[in-house]
Amino acid sequence: MILLKYLAAVIATLAVIVGLYSFATSDGDSNGPMNLVADAELEKVFYTDDEKNNIAVFENASPSVVFVTNTQLRRQRFSLNVMEIPRGSGTGFIWDDSGLIVTNFHVVYGANRITITLQSNKSYQAEVVGTAPEKDIALLKIDAPEEELKPLPLGDSASLAVGRKVLAIGNPFALDTTLTVGVVSALGREIKSITNRTIKNVIQTDAAINPGNSGGPLLDSHGRLVGVNTAIYSPSGASAGIGFAIPVNTVAKIVPQLIEHGKLIRPVLGIETLTDYWTRRLRVKGVAILSVREGMPADLAGMVGVREDRRGNIHLGDVIIAINGEGVTNEDSLLTQLEQYKPGDVVEVTTLKDEEIHNYDVTLAAPEE
């Protein structure tokens, strides 16, 4: 009898527990916990610190990200009427409160009209301040009220390390203001620009970057700009987990030149070089000088180009193999080396001439307009 009473008590207790569990998990009861997820205390439980960081970075940075639309004028085949058609779209971001916008050069390439749409959905026609095709950077400007312009804080791309979290905001496939999260996969990568020039020290990330993300910001976990998303490596054309971004430290050096000159200013030696095609055919390692311009740095330093002897035989002059000890293998690497300096800097140019090594101290000059 006692055992039966004990079993009855246990069954009754279990029934109560089951009933309470059913009540607690019911989403039909307006008082159930499933409908209290928005409660502040429960939010603290359900959001991890990393998720909170992602949300905070997105909310703070997304007003700085803009939608870039590129349109061209086309003449209709039969009527010959000129009409404006969309050529493509991409992403950009607000550089400062004067209305400067940074994006990729390939986003605005060939445009007759560029339209910038802010997060407020207000649109402005942009003018091109300057472009650096060899770095895939374009600087635009819009005339918008200062209160609508929220620049991104700048980070330091030199402080990045492989494994550090990064966030990308952009407009992939015209889906505006999309956030993707990943890590720095590698540093010091090299990619080709639209002009086939090499862009060095590029950031590689696995944060999903798709067509339309180009020109958008790559941010660190503090919401600071560390790169400009520019390209993906993908056989299908969609994100395959390998995206590239131009370091913010590179962009910060380019923007002032675009503001002042409208283009990237590279100091010159005052030489004309043999093309890489002829250099390869002649099996020359380095950059062979075809001719030097009179009165220019290379001429003043005593460098010479291709020469012809009395019998009509052609002899190579100086072949540049290094600048300040950094190897030069082709014209692209020569231009990349020169971009590290400014007019007036003195560099040591190492050449090979008549099978001998020569070193010249050359004062670099500004390019002629």
Listed residue (133, 169, 196, 149) closest to 57, CA to CA: 169
Tracing tokens 């976990």 back to the chain, one arrives at 221
In angstroms, the CA 199 to CA 202 distance is 7
161 token code pair: 């390390």
Annotated active-site residue 221? The verdict is: no
Which amino acid, one-letter code, is at 251? Answer: V
Q: Which of 64, 106, 185, 318 is catalytic?
A: 106
Among 64, 89, 136, 176, the one annotated catalytic: 136
Q: Name the token pair of 97.
A: 């409160």
Is residue 136 part of the annotated active site? The answer reads yes
3-class state of residue 363 by DSSP: strand
State phi, psi for 8 to the nearest 5 degrees.
Answer: -65, -40
Q: CB neighbours (10 Å) of residue 126? A: 27
How far is the C-alpha of 255 from the C-alpha of 93, rounded, in Å? 13
Question: Do the beta carbons of residue 337 and residue 349 sit within 8 Å?
Answer: no
Cα–Cα distances (Å) from 312 to 9, 104, 249, 309, 356, in that order, read 116, 49, 51, 5, 23
What Rg value do the Cα atoms of the chain yield, rounded? 30
The neighbouring-strand residues paired with 83 are 74
Structure letter (DSSP) for residue 312: S
Q: Give catalytic status of residue 106 as yes or no.
A: yes
CA distances from 59 to 95, 148, 178, 226 (A): 17, 15, 11, 17
Task: Return d(Cα 227, Cα 135) in angstroms, integer.
Answer: 13
* Catalytic residue selected from 64, 185, 193, 214: 214
CB 207 within 8 A of CB 180: yes
| Total residue count of the chain as it appears in this document | 369
Q: Which two tokens stand for residue 277?
A: 């095609």
Proportion of the chain in helix, strand, coil states, percent, rounded to 5: 25, 35, 35
Of 251, 269, 255, nearest to 343 by C-alpha is 269
Residues noted as catalytic: 106, 136, 214
